[in-house]
Structure 1
Amino acid sequence: MEFNYDVIVIGAGHAGCEAAAAAARLGSETCLITMDMNKIGQMSCNPAVGGIAKGQIVREIDALGGHMGLVTDRTAIQFRLLNRSKGPAMWSPRAQCDRAKFIWAWREVLENTPHLHIWQDTVRRLLVEDGEVRGVETVWGVTFHARCVIVTAGTFLNGLMHVGRTMLPGGRMAEPASYELTESIAAHGIAYGRMKTGTPVRIDGRSVHYEDMEVQDGEADFHKFSFLDTPTRQLKQLPCWTCYTNEEAHEVLRRGLPDSPLFNGQIQSIGPRYCPSIETKIVTFPDKPQHQLFLEPEGETTQELYLNGFSSSLPMDIQLEALKKIPAFRDLVVYRPGYAIEYDYFDPTQLKHTLETKKIKNLFLAGQVNGTTGYEEAAGQGIIAGINAHINCHGGEPFTLARDEAYIGVLIDDLVTKGVDEPYRMFTSRAEYRILLRMDDADMRLTERAYHLGLATRHRYDLLTSKREAVNHILDFARSYSIKPALINPALEALGTTPLRQGCKLIDLINRPQVTIANIAEHVSAFHRELDKVTERRDEILEAAEILIKYEGYIGRERMIADKLARLESIKIKGKFDYNSLQSLSTEARQKLVKIDPETIAQASRIPGVSPSDINVLLVLCGR
């Protein structure tokens, strides 16, 4: 059998779902090939979306017209806004989801997207002619001809699972690995390596002593992931719980270290630094008497619970014995143990910023196959790959995001410029312009671009326009309205802030730490009347306006720095130099510049091993 499509997407994880949906919605005839249609959008590890910096990525995906935020809002069983005690650049949404409902919500989206078809099969071979991808061939002998192919195979490429000394092939527990595809891609000169990740034990909630744990409830305010006017908290909201390991548990874990694949040489690949296994924690921090654990529900009605903080590949009996030393788990019953998994990934420095490979035209890679870890990082890559695959099929300018436009831009630039030596996870600290990349303004940054591209709907664009107008009206009023001391000083004293000696503009009062738009409006009737005009998405709009008022100076300063550095982004150098012949560059710089072949001076400046003096040499040569 043979089929013809514009775009083929291999793998229906978080990257694949966003890639397929984006390409199809833009008008490309798209086929999503997955091993199991019942595992579309599967949360292989934690049934949660968002977190520090990751939540910002999901908001960006939503602002672009993607689906991860909408599916998360629809299936969330607990929502929290992290880092509330810090500035808005650090605020990060996070939600626990119903794992099963998340899958079916995604499947409903995909099955009802025009131009998108789903085929259940396993791809074994890439079809390439004259350096350009032509399609794929599956294990069932079906040939799919395509103009573009996006590989989003996650942990399935030659996946190998570890529990103690037991090793089993697979891409996830009870799911087969994908063979031959890595070798088919590598045959065309694309380098690959091995990485490792892991997941914890799954617990039967009926065996837990919750009275020995601390409850952690969710939040019920207006915050959610999507900027669309969709309802919040559609499912029953459930708590999480916290507890700690102890020295007795650590002693059991130490006893199992000789049989740990991480320490007996069985696993050679590198795991995620910022999500270590419990055995790594006790070895790395031998003097730490306890480690915090989070017990999280897997769904609205299931008894299955996820033990965050206890990832492990130790033997089953060691995992269970150690957990039973913790009071809350003294009568523990589990559904399955934790395990580690090794899988193939491709060196992301072989990619363009569009996520198309440099060596095979119209082949795109997105998600964990690029050396990242996390659903959000994968989905962010997926939507960019899907957009650019469509553009490659039908024409248009490449769609990329700069580092001052989105965390997705930071993520992709880091991957293609710096590469990875461990699974890449996004943090706010990776973004030099994080005050510009807040969760509240992702729509302001990205939706208009997505609308002109054809991915964001007219309704989404209209919501952005009305929000921008409402925010600007509040800002204009606050800048122009004058306050008299006699009228406002009693209120200021009640709020614990210094009374006025002379009149000032309303915006100057809102800038004070103790003053908010809400608490000052109670005492300024004219302002209160203006705010009453905001009848839809009121909380979201007032929050956005207040952030812009209070952080105006910081935002302006960071914008100025970003604009200055943008000048270097405008200096194109790809194809202009034979770096090996430039003896004025350092040896390391020549090697790195040949490998990465940067698009601009700015990208060259971010390559590890390229010094400021090397950049000055390139600038001088550009001047010549």
Structure 2
Amino acid sequence: MHLMAARLGLPAHLSLLRGKLTGKTLNLRYLSGNASEVDSNFYDVIVVGGGHAGCEAAAASARLGRKTLLLTHKIETIGEMSCNPSFGGIGKGHLVREVDALDGVCGRICDKSGIHFKVLNKKKGPAVWGLRAQIDRDLYRRYMQEEILNTKCLTVEASPVDDLILDDVTPEHVDDMVCEKICAGVVLENGRCVKASSVVITTGTFLRGCIHLGLDIRPAGRLGDAPAVGLAKTLEEAGFTVGRLKTGTPPRIDGTTINYKQLESHFGDDMPVPFSFMNEKVSIKPEEQVSCHLTNSSTKVGEIILQNRHLNHHVREEVTGPRYCPSIESKVMRFGNRPHQIWLEPEGLNTNIVYMQGFSITLPPELQEECIHNVRGLEEAIMTRPGYGVEYDFMDPRQIKPSLETKRIKGLFFAGQINGTTGYEEAAAQGIIAGINAGLTARGEPPFIVNRTEGYIGVLIDDLTTQGTTEPYRMFTSRTEFRISLRPDNADLRLTEKGYKAGCVTEERYKKTKDVENKLGENIELLKAYKMSRAQWSNILHECKAEISLAKTGSKLSAFDVLQSSYFQVSYLSEVPGNPFQGIVSDDVLASRIKIEAVYEPFMKQQKQNIEEVRAEEELEVPPDLDFNRLSMSREVIGLLNTVRPTTIGAASRINGMTPGALLQLMWIVKKRERNRSHPTTLNPS
């Protein structure tokens, strides 16, 4: 048994106990903490699935002090990055920051295992910056397993779940009008029953999952792992509305066979920005970061795809795939036979495997190789593993509450791809909310809700629970009406205290956040109190060799006022007589946060006014003869408006995919038309 523990790379102090051998199933239970926990067969919370949603859910429940059991097919795949070797991005990076603000684990693990850090969208404002990192797959999995297997109050067991234990509604639950049953635990594949107050299902693509490779279809949740068929049947028989979605993964290639001289190199940032508010820097040194490379497909690739459609079962239209991360086949069929971007991303520091981001494909392996060899720089590349597609069950997310508890069965929670989302970040965000609420429900406490005004997590859950989804849902900054205030830099100020009050945030993180909040407040007050004339500020700009306009009313400007100019850098404050801002200038993190607060302050009032205006005009009627095609909006939004034909502004706001900016524009157009009809222009008779 010690040998098996060593092979799995488990910490030496963990207890490894042999379970019952039934048929071919050997249950191995890994315990952190007291070995006496194995004697008990009741848990506050059971989490099913060891992916990104499951890890966050189990860790969150355990942080609340709830006795938690994480059930997964294999211990060694906990924290597996099944698809792309990266975390974050535009919108997605916001989610990682918010998960971290609630004391989640993925941000800290990314900072330890990242090998290339870059902030995307830097040409735009900080509200839409996207923190992103290439991750070493092996390091991420190892660090996540160390975290999970050493978490107090958390037990991890390798055992598939086949069924749920459902009880009838008891008199104390009669107020829950929708609730039909109560979830009281799970039934494992070997027939063993495990009781719990709450159960969180985070099965990813495993519910009746099947893999597509050309015309070959085989049952699997991912390559090498069996699907969850019994649990899928249970949920369907329980009355849940079930749908099918699909996704895919690209081939992996041997990096030593790539001709990098033909490719465009992209480097990480000189000063990598950590995901976690608890870290001042990431583990890898800036100069040791790996490079990513950009190439393109060719028209020959498109020809191969179009000529072999009959050999590709996955591209049929009956099941919807991810619109914003389509396969190369979908790109060719949807956008025409033209070159498409392909990012070559290294999978780790100690491997030559390279991931082909943007080249998800499900053709037979020999045709995939032919396609690869027609990509610039990959003419001689060796494919180490073919791409494949995955099709799986998901539950209509309108069947869950904002707490992620199902409406139909009390004590049962869904999180991750089971709710129709795609991506590690969306899964982690749901996982932490489901874990917190499963823990609170187990003790009869009120739910923990993040609403749309408080975070991207709230936007994600609100979109899912109110609008549902017909395609894998992905987070974008355009999905929120509040993106000026919901920035990645202030996620801690927005959510950490709220999480602390719910019991899921440690004292250490809470104290650090309050210290940051106090420091920000004190220094912003200092900046607002220090005022000089325009001439004096202009002299400082002249000393710094910067020429900008200080067009602001009033005879004097505060230091905070001048920082509102995007061209006035915090470092210029060191030229102020007496240098009263040395503490700000010398602290890069503090300086950055203060600068962002200053830049956005004038816009915050306007955003609040716009939001209130839209809410006040929800009943405003949209004229039935309004020609949406003539509006200056994106083709996607115009298509949505033409399909739904909303009758009111409120109806338009609930269209899945409608952006806040487009909604505001539509409202102004409708109001303008209404004014013109009420006060028609008349010609002067003279």
Give the TM-score of the pair, scaled to structure 2.
Answer: 0.80
Question: Matched residues in 2 for 1:563 and 1:47: separation?
Answer: 41
Q: Does 1:94 align with 2:144?
A: no
Q: Does 1:52 align with 2:94?
A: no
Residue 566 of structure 2 corresponds to 513
Q: 8 Å contact 1:492–1:499 — kept in the other structure?
A: no
How far 1:141 moved relative to its partner? 2.1
Question: Matched residues in 2 for 1:565 and 1:465: separation?
Answer: 34
Q: Does 1:244 align with 2:296?
A: yes
Match of residue 297, structure 1, among 328, 332, 346: 346
Q: CA RMSD in A?
A: 2.4
How far 1:488 moved relative to its partner? 3.7
Match of residue 582, structure 2, among 528, 531, 534: 531
Flag the 1:502–1:354 CA change in 2: closer, same or farther, 3 A.
closer
Which residue identity is paired with 2:295?
A: C
Question: Matched residues in 1 for 2:272 and 2:266: separation?
Answer: 19
Match of residue 209, structure 1, among 237, 259, 266: 259
How far 1:176 moved relative to its partner? 1.2
Match of residue 270, structure 2, among 195, 215, 220: 220
Flag the 1:525–1:257 CA change in 2: closer, same or farther, 3 A.
farther
Residue 198 of structure 1 corresponds to 248
Flag the 1:46–1:196 CA change in 2: closer, same or farther, 3 A.
same
Query: Helix, strand or coil for the counterpart of 1:541?
Result: helix
Determine what percentage of the aligned residue pairs are the same residue: 39
Provide the aligned length of Structure 1 versus Structure 2: 571
Question: Matched residues in 2 for 1:112 and 1:556: separation?
Answer: 46
Q: 8 Å contact 2:574–2:581 — kept in the other structure?
A: no
Residue 362 of structure 1 corresponds to 411
How far 1:605 moved relative to its partner? 9.2
Query: Helix, strand or coil for the counterpart of 2:343?
Result: strand
Residue 257 of structure 1 corresponds to 309
Which residue identity is paired with 2:116?
A: Q
How far 1:561 moved relative to its partner? 5.0
Residues 368-447 of structure 1 mapped to structure 2, 5 A cutoff: 368-447=417-496
Flag the 1:521–1:312 CA change in 2: closer, same or farther, 3 A.
same
How far 1:386 moved relative to its partner? 0.5
Residue 449 of structure 1 corresponds to 498
Question: Matched residues in 1 for 2:273 and 2:256: separation?
Answer: 32
Which residue identity is paired with 2:566?
A: P
Q: Does 1:178 align with 2:225?
A: no
Residue 280 of structure 1 corresponds to 330
Give the TM-score of the pair, scaled to structure 1.
Answer: 0.87
Residue 41 of structure 1 corresponds to 79
Residue 575 of structure 1 corresponds to none
Question: Matched residues in 2 for 1:25 and 1:544: separation?
Answer: 29
Residue 13 of structure 1 corresponds to 51
Q: Residue by residue, what CA displacement relative to the aligned partner does 1:145-171 show, whole Å, maximum 9, x if unpaired?
A: 111110000001111101111111111
Flag the 1:484–1:565 CA change in 2: closer, same or farther, 3 A.
closer
How far 1:258 moved relative to its partner? 1.9
Q: Does 1:504 align with 2:557?
A: yes
Flag the 1:322–1:353 CA change in 2: closer, same or farther, 3 A.
same
Flag the 1:123–1:505 CA change in 2: closer, same or farther, 3 A.
same
How far 1:233 moved relative to its partner? 3.3
Q: 8 Å contact 1:222–1:540 — kept in the other structure?
A: no
How far 1:458 moved relative to its partner? 1.6
Q: Residue by residue, what CA displacement relative to the aligned partner does 1:555-603 show, whole Å, maximum 9, x if unpaired?
A: 223245557889999xxxxxxxxxxxxxxxxxxxxxxxxxxxxxxxx99
Flag the 1:226–1:268 CA change in 2: closer, same or farther, 3 A.
same
Flag the 1:490–1:499 CA change in 2: closer, same or farther, 3 A.
farther
Question: Matched residues in 2 for 1:383 and 1:198: separation?
Answer: 25
Query: Helix, strand or coil for the counterpart of 1:224?
Result: coil
Question: Matched residues in 2 for 1:563 and 1:443: separation?
Answer: 25
Residues 597-616 of structure 1 mapped to structure 2, 5 A cutoff: 607=654
Query: Helix, strand or coil for the counterpart of 2:250?
Result: strand
Query: Helix, strand or coil for the counterpart of 2:510?
Result: helix
Q: 8 Å contact 2:48–2:201 — kept in the other structure?
A: yes
Q: Does 1:70 align with 2:122?
A: no
How far 1:225 moved relative to its partner? 0.3
Residue 165 of structure 2 corresponds to 127
Q: Does 1:271 align with 2:321?
A: yes
Which residue identity is paired with 1:318?
A: L
How far 1:230 moved relative to its partner? 5.1
Q: 8 Å contact 2:550–2:562 — kept in the other structure?
A: no
Q: Does 1:166 align with 2:216?
A: yes
Flag the 1:608–1:244 CA change in 2: closer, same or farther, 3 A.
closer
Question: Matched residues in 2 for 1:325 and 1:217: separation?
Answer: 25
Query: Helix, strand or coil for the counterpart of 1:124?
Result: strand
Structure 2 gaps of 5+ residues are 1-19, 21-39, 169-180, 619-648, 657-662, 664-686
Question: Matched residues in 1 for 2:580 and 2:213: separation?
Answer: 64
Q: 8 Å contact 2:477–2:483 — kept in the other structure?
A: yes
Q: Residue by residue, what CA displacement relative to the aligned partner does 1:210-238 show, whole Å, maximum 9, x if unpaired?
A: 11111111113151100003541337421
